[in-house]
Amino acid sequence: MTDASAVPAVVQLSNVSKYYGNICALSDINLTVRRGEVTCILGDNGAGKSTLIKIISGMHPHDAGVVRVHGKDIHFASPREALDFGIATVYQDLALVPLMSVWRNFFLGSEITTGMWPFRRLDVERMRRVADEELKNLGIDLPDIDAPIAQLSGGEMQVVAIARAIHFGAQVLILDEPTAALGVKQSGVVLKYIAAARDAGLGVIFISHNPHHAYLVGDHFAVLNLGRMELDAKRAELSIEQLVRHMAGGAELQALEHEMHR
């Protein structure tokens, strides 16, 4: 593990809050994401994980506090703006269009074109080739790049989404529950690619409610509970048991343990 504080922060949140009507979804969140690190955000359902990544990824603006990207104060108006700052998000639903082919999905929104207007057209051959190469670089060899993406397995779709983000120059990769719907083996595959992305120098934000998956790849852990930051610790300061305990709400779990004791 490198000395984390030496690496400059890519994304920095200071006292960020978000309200939906009179409901406070997040309050006073401080978080630092560095390059070459996996920052895990853990928490139960409704803890505010999704709200937090929606702010960083530009889906929803924050209501209070400061979000800095590369040291600059920002207020994203759309995911496109966040992308332009190098922040790419792989959502739970993967932001893939099921009936479209693998290569069309790979380049969706950032298509390569050739020729002059009005004859500007998609550079189909190049896009198919690049998509195939990028996927092979991450170690998946798809039988057919023209097949609708719905025909791939859940893990393969995750990897397509990750490869896409890396190809388009993501410096920060946000992964929303990438292992939630996967079996053990497929989860392992995805975790391997998360580690690969980190080693490639990306700042990875890994949202999960599975502390065991998080602990396998995480360098830095933030636990949310009811919109508040309950824990913010480096890997060295934390054991897996402590993490599990925090995740379940620490004291609450102890009470539950006591209650359920047989």
Partner 1 sequence: MTSQLASQRVARRSSLRIFLMRPEVGSLIGALIVVVFFSVMAPSIRHPGSVSTVLYQSSTLGIMAVGVALLMIGGEFDLSAGVAVITSALAASMFAYQLGTNVWVGVGFALLVSLAIGAFNGWLLVRTGLPSFLVTLGTFLMLQGANLAVTRLVTGNVATNDISNMAGFNSARSIFASTFNVGGTDVSVSILWWLALVALGTWILLRTRVGNWIFAVGGNARSARAVGVPIVQTKVGLFMAVGLCAWISGMHQLFEYNTVQSGGGVGLELEYIVAAVVGGCLLTGGYGSVIGAAIGALIFGVVSQGVVYADWNPDWFKFFLGAMLLLATLVNMLVRHQVNRKQPA
Q: Does 128 bind partner 1 (CB under 8 A)?
A: no
Site residues for partner 1, 153-192, by CB under 8 A, read 153
Closest distance between partner 1 and the C-beta of residue 134, in Å? 15
**Interacting span for partner 1 (CB under 8 A) from 61-69, 141-149, 241-249, 254-262:** 141-149
**Is residue 211 exposed (0-12), middle (13-18) or buried (19+ Cβ within 10 Å)?**
buried
Count Cβ atoms within 10 A of the Cβ of residue 233 and give its class: 0-12 exposed, 13-18 middle, 19 or more buried: middle
Which positions from 48 through 67 interact with partner 1, judged by CB under 8 A? 59
Q: Is 92 in the site for partner 1 (CB under 8 A)?
A: no
Q: Which two tokens stand for residue 216?
A: 């396998």
Q: Report if residue 104 touches partner 1, rule: CB under 8 A.
A: yes
Q: How many CA atoms lie within 13 A of 91 on its CB side?
A: 13
Residue written as tokens 């949202």? 207
Question: Do residues 224 and 47 make contact, with C-beta atoms less than 8 angstroms apart?
Answer: yes
* Binds partner 1 (CB under 8 A): choice among 33, 42, 47, 96: 96
Least Cβ distance, residue 121 to partner 1 (angstroms): 5
Spatial distance between the Cα atoms of 107 and 35, rounded to a whole number of angstroms:
25
Q: Are 172 and 203 in contact (CB under 8 A)?
A: yes
Applying CB under 8 A, the span of 37-45, 79-87, 190-198, 211-219 interacting with partner 1 comes to 79-87
Cis, peptide link before residue 118, omega less than 30° from 0: yes
Torsion of Cα atoms, 70 then 15 then 230 then 183, to 10°: -40
With CB under 8 A as the contact rule, the residue among 111, 133, 237, 257 that binds partner 1 is: 111
Only segment of 10-18, 33-41, 131-139, 146-154 that touches partner 1 (CB under 8 A)? 146-154
Contact between 134 and partner 1 by CB under 8 A: the answer reads no
Which residue, 5 or 113, has its beta carbon nearer to partner 1? 113
Residues that bind partner 1 (CB under 8 A): 59, 78-80, 83, 89, 91, 93-100, 104, 107-111, 113, 120-122, 124, 141, 143-144, 146-148, 150-151, 153
